[in-house]
Amino acid sequence: MYVGRIVSIGRTNEKCWVCYRVSSRSFPNRKTVENDGRIMVSSLNLQDMVKSPYIAYNCIRLVGDLAVVTNGNHTDMIAEKISDGMKPLDSIVLSLMAYGYERDELDTPRIAGVVNGDKGWLGIAKRDEIRVKQLNLNDDCAFMVATYEKTDFGPVDVSGGSAAEMAREAFNLHFEKPVCSAAAFQNDTDEGFRLAVYNPE
């Protein structure tokens, strides 16, 4: 099954985390890059950048003891609104309302997630619907939303003990056309997160 981009959030051993996976049929020449406390999806083909404005963006950003994950440049707006004091749910709602779905040939939804301790939030903006939900994150509990097919907020079977393990787990989810992935995993020693990317050889 092809589900496109995937956002997942969860909690393992009392540590919350977010994961992101790029799955793509049209623009597979991409990689994830960690840079200055955030992770970016970057295009390896400059001609692809001309074809689509939606293929390069920050997919994960950290805001203190929160992690934000999305499939587009609304990552930045959500992170900045949270930094300004807005609640995670409200920041996702505002950002998805402001950006809406992507104006490409597939009307690709925008998806988003945030985690903070034992609470998580998922959101999706489709052509005809915007939904955002707060979720309780118990240990060994994970949820996902994708741009196609899996557009409801549902459970997902991923687990790991580090950002690197979670990034690889996200890449290995049994959906078609994986390209690259990334994760943020809560630190053992403080309230921050460690970041990791996974780009197959």
Mind listing the pLDDT tens digit for each residue in 98-126?
Answer: 999 999 999 999 999 999 999 999 999 99
pLDDT < 70 positions in the chain: 189-190
Mind listing the pLDDT tens digit for each residue in 11-35?
Answer: 999 999 999 999 999 999 999 999 9
**Residues 35 and 192 sit within 8 Å (Cβ to Cβ):** no
- Which domains occur in the chain, in start order? 6-198 (3.60.20.20)
> Rounded to whole angstroms, how far apart are CA atoms 58 and 24?
17
- pLDDT for the residue 190: 66
Residues 6+ apart with CB under 8 A from 85: none
> Rounded to whole angstroms, how far apart are CA atoms 73 and 88?
16
* C-alpha distance from residue 13 to each of 67, 81, 144, 157 (Å): 17, 29, 19, 15
- pLDDT for the residue 188: 79
Q: Can you give the length of the chain in residues?
A: 201
| Nearest CA among 61, 108, 107 for reference residue 88 | 61
Helix or strand holding residue 78 (H, E) = helix 74-83
- pLDDT for the residue 59: 98
Question: What six digits make up the tokens of 44?
Answer: 């390896």
Question: What six digits make up the tokens of 78?
Answer: 């959500």
Q: How far apart are the first and last CA of the chain?
A: 23
Count Cα atoms within 13 angstroms, Cβ side, for 128.
0
Question: What's the pTM value of the predicted model, to 2 decimals?
Answer: 0.97
Neighbours of 191 (CB within 10 A): 11
